[in-house]
Amino acid sequence: MLMYRVFSKPQKFSVYIRQIIFEINNIGISSLPIIAIISVFMGGIITIQAAFGFNSPWVPLYAVGFTTRESILLEFSPTIVCLILAGKVGSNIASEIGAMRITEQIDALEIMGINSAGYLIFPKIAGAVFIFPFLIAISMFLGIWGGYVMGVSAGACTSYEYIYGIQAFFEPWKLYYSFTKVVVFAFIITSVSSYYGYHTRGGALEVGKSSTDAVVYSSILILLFALILTNLFLNH
Amino acid sequence: MIEIKNINKTFGDRHVVKNVSFKFLQGKTNLIIGESGCGKTTILKLMVGLHNVDSGSVFYGDQDFPKLDHQGQQEVRKQIGMLFQGGALFDSQTLEENVRFPLDMFTDLSKEEKIERVNFCLQKVKLEGKNLLYPAELSGGMKKRAALARAIANNPKYLFCDEPNSGLDPKTSIVIDELINDLTAELNITTIIVTHDMNSVIEIGDNILFIHKGENWWTGDKSQILNTDNKELYDFVFASKFLKTVFKKS
């Protein structure tokens, strides 16, 4: 029922477009610093761990670059970064909408004749579904770059081996798999968090509870859908 | 005019509103008064559709609001302005954006025309020049006035006010009361105020509905209320010993 109201025809397109742009900035651009920091460091850590694990004459050193790329492209950026975003963005959305509910701001929207669910939730979903793939693409790039900088400077592998490794056996359809996951996760994070925020009743305590529930259930659903999508795409 | 007919509302096993009927007059300040918890805010919320009535009718002109579909209710609501107890201003928007919001959503006015209307409304509530302040930067009285400016921005036919004086000092309360009363007469709108503030009742009560234990207990106006022989109403009006003494002397 809530989703029906969210996706019903917008009352004024220009206002919705403005809101979507606002949410792209609010949800997406403001998350860039945390994503960049985590991606660079995780890329470095994966590279060094891979080099440590492959410390054998039977495994070529370009496997370090290969492993880093596969880990980042397939799992770290699409899934782990989205779990981090579920914490940051999900709690933000649930507490924002929850606070609006308990301070009667949502009632005020309804009294004005505005479809509050559509006005508040649709721009968040649309904004996240649009911007998350870009964020994750940046995360992938920075993760692989971080792996290169830290791996080479730590002596885990040479520059040539790393670059050769990240290009080796590349299958472009894996990007399709990764970005499909990202779009699904973006929808899960925003819709689940909005749901918990929108149905908040009570006071500040309940806003906190909604925020926690939003993160917990978003995370569980992300992992569940990661499993389903991985099975669908890779298990053949 | 708005007319409620035999409305009932139950929450669980609590019958909160019992068969209440009343006519709210256009161009008048209509008051719903009663003790805390008597059901007056529930009546207000039933009238605007924030709660659904169990039975009965709420007529806006000749339209029975509870029987309208969602789209029909949205259309009626576009003619409603509401002042919430806490103001319910949008925290993330400036005062100007708050007041402009209904205009952005429902009119095709140019940007200049919207700004002109916003300034007119802010001037009406004596907040001119405060356009760029955020709700967090406003005092309690200013928030109420700002919310009132937003409520009248789109030229409503009906203005609902839920406890407009709660949390305000007596002087600011009178300012808010006078503002609502003046706007009602000037714009010829139907104003419904939920209050238990006796100053408001005596100052601006053109048409009063007294609710006691969820029932329509008494109706009248400010001139009649001070001479009432209705025991429950008398106890409510003269709860203050000071007021009782002053009126006995006069």
Tens digit of pLDDT at every position of chain A (236 positions): 888 889 988 888 889 999 999 999 999 999 999 999 999 999 999 999 998 888 777 888 889 999 999 999 999 999 999 999 999 999 999 999 999 999 999 999 999 889 999 999 999 999 999 999 999 999 999 999 999 999 999 888 899 999 999 999 989 999 999 999 999 999 999 999 999 999 999 999 999 999 999 999 999 999 999 999 999 988 76
**Chain A residues whose beta carbon lies within 8 Å of the beta carbon of residue B105:** 11-12, 15, 112, 114
Measured in angstroms, the CA of A142 and the nearest CA of chain B are apart by 33
pLDDT of B249 reads 64
The pTM score is 0.87
Alpha-carbon radius of gyration of chain B: 18
Residues in B lying within 8 Å of A, measured between beta carbons? 48-50, 74-78, 80, 82, 84-86, 88-91, 101-102, 104-106, 154, 160
**Chain B residues whose beta carbon lies within 8 Å of the beta carbon of residue A110:** 49-50, 77
Q: CA-nearest residue of chain B to A26?
A: B92
**Chain A residues whose beta carbon lies within 8 Å of the beta carbon of residue B78:** 112-113
**Chain A residues whose beta carbon lies within 8 Å of the beta carbon of residue B82:** 108, 111
For the four alpha carbons of A135, A139, A140 and A142, in that order, the dihedral sign comes to: positive
CB environment B26-40: b (16+ within 10 A), e (fewer): bebbbbbbbbeebbb
The closest of A78, A57, A53, A79 to A66, measured between CA atoms, is: A53
Helix (H) or strand (E) holding B191: strand B190-195
A111 and chain B in contact, CB less than 8 A: yes
A105 and chain B in contact, CB less than 8 A: yes
pLDDT of A227 reads 95
Size of interface A-B (CB pairs under 8 A): 53
Cβ burial of A76 (10 Å; 0-12, 13-18, 19+) is buried
Cβ pair A113:B74 closer than 8 A: yes
Cβ pair A113:B88 closer than 8 A: no
pLDDT of B248 reads 66
Among the partner-chain residues B77, B89, B104, the one whose CB lies closest to the CB of A111 is B77
**Chain B residues whose beta carbon lies within 8 Å of the beta carbon of residue A113:** 74-78, 80, 106
CA neighbours closer than 13 Å in the CB half-sphere of residue A192: 23
Which residues in chain B land under pLDDT 70? Answer: 248-250
Please name the residues in contact with A131: beta carbons below 8 A apart, sequence gap of 6 or more: A24, A27, A28, A29
pLDDT of B250 reads 63
**Chain B residues whose beta carbon lies within 8 Å of the beta carbon of residue A108:** 82, 84, 88, 90
pLDDT of A56 reads 78
pLDDT of B183 reads 87
Q: CA-nearest residue of chain B to A107?
A: B50
Cβ pair B105:A105 closer than 8 A: no
Among the partner-chain residues B76, B86, B101, the one whose CB lies closest to the CB of A104 is B86
Please name the residues in contact with A13: beta carbons below 8 A apart, sequence gap of 6 or more: none
Strand order in the sheet with B158-162: B63-64, B55-60, B2-11, B14-24, B215-220, B207-212, B29-33, B190-195, B158-162, B80-83
Query: Hey, of B82, B85, B100, B157, which one would you mutate to test binding to chain A, going by the most A CBs within 10 A of its CB?
Result: B82
Cβ pair B86:A11 closer than 8 A: no
End-to-end CA distance of chain A: 36
